[in-house]
Structure 1
Amino acid sequence: MRLTSLAFLLASVFASSVYSSSTVASVPNAAELTAQVESKVIAWRRDLHQHPELSNREFRTSKVIEKHLKSLGLEVQTGIAHTGVVAILKGGKPGPLIGLRADMDALPVTEVVDLPFASKATDTYRGQKVGVMHACGHDTHVAMLMGVAENLVKVKDSLAGDVMFIFQPAEEGAPEGEQGGAELMLKEGLFAKRKPDQVFGMHVTSSMPTGVIGLRSGPAMASEDSFTIKVMGRQTHGSRPWGGVDPIVASAQIINSVQTIISRQVDITKAPAVVSFGAINGGIRSNIIPDEVELIGTIRTFDQDMRADIKVKLAEIATNAAKTLGATAVTEIQPGYPVTVNNPELVSKMRPVIASVVGDNMLIEPGLITGAEDFSYYALETPGMFFFLGVTPTDKDPSQVASNHSPAFYVDESALKVGVQTMTQVALTALGAAQ
Structure 2
Amino acid sequence: MKSKLTLFLFSFFAIATFAQTSALKQKISQKTDVIEQKVIDWRRDFHQNPELGNHEFRTAEIIAKHLKSLGIEVTTSVAKTGVIGILKGGKPGPAVAIRADMDGLPVIERTPLPFASKVKTQFNGQEVGTMHACGHDSHMAILMGVAEVLSSMKKDLKGTVKFIFQPAEEGPPFGEEGGAELMVKEGVLENPKVNVVFGLHINSQTEVGKITYRPGGTMAAVNDMKITVKGLQAHGAYPWSSIDPIVVSAQIINALQTIVSRNLNVTENAGVVTIGSIHGGLRSNIIPEEVVMMGTVRNLSKEDEEMFISRIKTIVTKTAEAAGATAEVKIPFSVRYPVSYNDPSLTAKMLPTLQAVAGKENVLLKAAVTGAEDFSFFQEKVPGLFIFLGGMPKGQDPLKAPSHHTPDFFIDESGFTLGVKALAGLTVDFMEGVK
TM range (shorter): over 0.9
1:137 lines up with 2:108 in the alignment: no
Instruction: Report 1:38-49 matches (<5 A).
Output: 38-49=36-47
Match of 1:29 among 24, 27, 46: 27
Match of 1:319 among 299, 317, 320: 317
CA shift for structure 1 position 24: 8.3
1:66 maps to 64
CA radius of gyration, larger in: 2
Match of 1:196 among 194, 197, 209: 194
2:362 maps to 362
Q: For residues 24 and 224 of structure 1, do their structure 2 counterparts lie closer, same or farther at Cα, with a shift above 3 Å needed?
A: farther
Q: For residues 146 and 222 of structure 1, do their structure 2 counterparts lie closer, same or farther at Cα, with a shift above 3 Å needed?
A: same
State the structure with bigger RCO (CA 8 A, min sep 6), 1 or 2. Answer: 1
The answer as to whether partners of 2:271 and 2:299 remain within 8 angstroms in 1 is yes
Match of 2:224 among 212, 223, 226: 226
Match of 1:82 among 68, 80, 83: 80
Q: Which runs of 5+ in 2 are unaligned?
A: 1-20
Q: What secondary structure does 2:228 align onto?
A: strand
2:350 maps to 350
CA distance in 1, matches of 2:379, 2:55: 25
CA-to-aligned-CA distance 1:355-400 (integer Å, 9 cap, x gap): 1111111110110111111111111111100000010100311121
- TM-score w.r.t. the length of structure 1 is 0.92
CA distance in 2, matches of 1:115, 1:268: 42
1:107 maps to 105
Q: For residues 72 and 369 of structure 1, do their structure 2 counterparts lie closer, same or farther at Cα, with a shift above 3 Å needed?
A: same
CA distance in 1, matches of 2:28, 2:188: 28
CA distance in 2, matches of 1:265, 1:345: 30
Q: What secondary structure does 2:237 align onto?
A: coil
The answer as to whether partners of 1:159 and 1:433 remain within 8 angstroms in 2 is no
Q: What secondary structure does 1:364 align onto?
A: strand
Instruction: Report 1:155-174 matches (<5 A).
Output: 155-174=153-172
2:340 maps to 340
CA shift for structure 1 position 240: 1.2
The answer as to whether partners of 1:28 and 1:434 remain within 8 angstroms in 2 is no
Q: Which runs of 5+ in 1 are unaligned?
A: 1-22
Instruction: Report 1:197-276 matches (<5 A).
Output: 197-276=195-274
Q: What secondary structure does 1:310 align onto?
A: helix
2:412 maps to 412
2:393 maps to 393
CA shift for structure 1 position 433: 9.1
Q: What secondary structure does 2:372 align onto?
A: coil
Q: What secondary structure does 2:71 align onto?
A: coil
Q: In structure 1, give the amino acid aligned to 2:384.
A: G
| Overall identity of the aligned pairs, in % | 49
CA-to-aligned-CA distance 1:263-304 (integer Å, 9 cap, x gap): 112333342211111111111221111111111111111111
CA distance in 2, matches of 1:349, 1:324: 54
Match of 2:308 among 307, 310, 318: 310
Q: What secondary structure does 1:317 align onto?
A: helix
CA distance in 2, matches of 1:358, 1:421: 9
CA shift for structure 1 position 153: 0.4
Moved more, 120-129 or 55-64: 120-129
Q: What secondary structure does 1:98 align onto?
A: strand
The answer as to whether partners of 1:24 and 1:356 remain within 8 angstroms in 2 is no
CA-to-aligned-CA distance 1:150-193 (integer Å, 9 cap, x gap): 00000111111110000000000111000000110111121232
Q: In structure 1, give the amino acid aligned to 2:243.
A: V
CA-to-aligned-CA distance 1:180-207 (integer Å, 9 cap, x gap): 0011011112123222111000000112
CA-to-aligned-CA distance 1:22-77 (integer Å, 9 cap, x gap): x9898131211101111110110000000000011101100000000000011100
Q: What secondary structure does 1:40 align onto?
A: helix
Q: In structure 2, give the amino acid aligned to 1:407.
A: P
The number of residue pairs the alignment matches comes to 413
CA distance in 1, matches of 2:434, 2:307: 45
Q: Cα RMSD (Å) of the superposition? A: 1.6
CA distance in 2, matches of 1:189, 1:91: 21
